Structure 1
Amino acid sequence: MNILCTYIIFGLLKASFVAARWSTWGAWGHCSVTCGRGTMVSHRTCSHHGSCDGSSSRTSHCHPRTHTCPPVDGHLTAWGHWGSCSATCQGTRTRTRVCHPPEHGGAPCGGSTVETSGCGASHCPVNGGWSGWNHPSACSVTCGGGVRTRTRACNHPTPANGGHQCPGVSHMSEHCNENHCPVNGVLLAWGDWSPCSVTCGSGSRVRSRACIPPKYGGLNCTGPLFEINNCIQVPCQTPPAGVACPSCTEHIKCTWNTTCHVSDICMVRSLSITGFKFTTHCIMKDDCLLLKMLANKTHGEVFCCPDENCVRALIVQ
């Protein structure tokens, strides 16, 4: 029984190996294109499904000749993504695209397949730069010397990413309006009053002040430089009256219009040789006494009258 089974199994296996073979290749199919270069496929079958070695189809190029293909220009694909930057400051990066080549005499691709650009500039240190000086400000004064200022800004460009600040100063000062300011005249304080013009009774006194003159077109002083004021002293005492001593004509017409000083007397002198009865005038007492002593009766006589009664008695008035 075992021997019989063995023969049966062996026979079946042998029949299986003999049956698994390829058929001949079939005819070529139609070309995949009607012009230019295409492909065509041929098939074969295995006599025992799934047991034959190799492929059940084959491919071959084909060139149909019944039609002439129109030219196809080369064309570029879209750009790919940018590559990474070569440096963090002022580096470069690239991107690429593919050119599909022309066919049938078409034009080649127009443009490059590689593009390069700068990168990283936004991270570079930027040193600051000054703007120009602006117009000066108004002078701090209109005369006498003042100051005006100018400013500038560190924004041309503004420092960035750790760049240096602008060197130097952002403002400067200069002198202005150095012309002299007008100085008005100035009155000084009043001086002391002068002594009173009299020692007794009512008089006057004066005081003054000085004017410092104006300069550089200033205004003159306004107001008086002198001031007069009344002053009252102690009441005056009436001095003792001197002797009355008249003035007389040759006709003995006398006018009592003269009063001698208190220290004088009225001298009456007879001058008979002259044709006049007498003459009168004021004289100091000592001088009168001396003349009286020296007088000669032949040349008249001298009388020294200390009062008016004496004078009237001599001139008989």
Structure 2
Amino acid sequence: MAQTGETGAEEWSQWSSCSVTCGQGSQVRTRTCISPYGTHCSGPLRESRVCNNTALCPVHGVWEEWSPWSLCSFTCGRGHRTRTRMCVPPQHGGRACDGPETQSKLCNIALCPVDGQWQEWSPWSDCSVTCANGTQQRTRQCSAASHGGSECRGHWAESRECYNPDCTANGQWNPWGPWSGCSKSCDGGWQRRARVCQGAATTGQQCDGTGEEVRKCSDQRCPAPYEICPEDYAIAMVWRRTPSGELAFNRCPPNATGTTSRRCALDHRGVAYWEKPSYARCIGNEYRYLQQSVQAHLTKGPKDLAGDGMSQVTKVLLDLTQRRNFYAGDLLSSVEILRNVTDTFKRASYEPSSDDVQNFFQIISNLLEEENKEKWEDAQQIYPGSVELMQVIEEFIHIVGLGMKDFHNAYLMTGNLVASIQRLPAVSVMTDISFPMKGRKGMVDWARNSEDKVVIPKGIFIPQSADMDGSPVFILGTVLYKTLGLMLPSPKNNTAVNSKVIAVTVRPEPKVTDVQLEIELAHLANGTMNPFCALWDSTIM
């Protein structure tokens, strides 16, 4: 150690604190050189020394190496392997080891053998004879063994004796066999059936009665040559010779799937002639693809198709219907697609956008073009598509109305329909609601050329009981069709229906009241000056 008090140097400072709080560290002290005579100080200006802190330093826990993986827990099938590691424990307040002590992973050595298993015995068969001694049998099936399993042990069939004591003097008839095919397809033929006498070999006595029966069949008259449509080549297809009243079938054209049919009919003179081919079962490939894709996605749940999914479907269908190139089956396919779209919106509680609503009604308008009249008549021979279409529109109006705010309304017009949707709380309906509204933009032509109108009395919206929880909200949908009357199935009676059809939807359905909807249809003179009235079926909601 340097001596203190040397010329020109200050006293040493105090030793600093130890550099560590535990274990061995160091301390430092310093001094300053002050030389008034211009000479340098001798000796060091900084010194250090070792210091030992009495506290022990913490030692953290340390993982040892992992043990080898264990054997698989099962010798076949799926099992698991494990390995472990030990932790050297911490000391003097150190941290414990961080991480898992055990790890496991799946293992699959081999497929487990599956032994064959006997299934239940079948019931005992009937006795082999109707009298005296006979035998019965029963069998059982063995499920197939796999992956080295053993086959079933034991017999697959068993037999036992049986005895029928009631042997009569004669044998016993077995049940009658089925009738044979008729010997002729028309102008009268014959068919036969037979039965077997059982037990005659034992008793020596034959059965009473006959073992064969014969009866007449195909009594209808065969068509004369002039009552049969000859083979014909039309619409790039061969229609084979067909009796009157029957259908001939062919494949649809290459751009469609399904079958096309053609009926052989009789004219007023009783001569057979071919009717026009029916394309009600022909669906264009693009319509079929869209129809199948929607049905495939529906199995995944409505949420997968809600929103953008259904919006895209309506866009594609709109593009297809804009082309005005329909088979009769395409009309029915479009109705089914719109039904699936509407049901998906309904289940997913999705509010259609304004574009969705516009596209939806424009598709309806395209389907109801007057040029499609004959195709609708063709399609409705197998399914009432236009009636289904009206029900789909009713459901769609309900969905749009539920998504609207109170006192809001939606209004749109296409070439073939005008739609008005309103959402009104019941208590706010102060006057009757009349439609169409003359002077409304887009309604001029409809109101000027038709007297058709509908009046919804305000009394329908009065709550039916005082204990109702608030006033109900009603969504009103009113739709006028210019051409739907041409597409609907023809009435069975002589009722004349105006070409403009009014559809009214009120949701939720009001309770029965004395106040009814008032619907007025314009008179249809039909060239006779005698007005006809459309029948109203009050049993249909």
Task: Please say whether Structure 1 and Structure 2 have the same fold, judged by a TM-score greater than 0.5.
Answer: no
Q: TM-score, normalized by length of structure 2?
A: 0.24
Q: TM-score, normalized by length of structure 1?
A: 0.39
Q: Tell which structure's C-alpha radius of gyration is larger.
A: 1
More helix by share: 2
| Higher relative contact order structure (alpha carbons within 8 Å, sequence separation ≥ 6) | 1
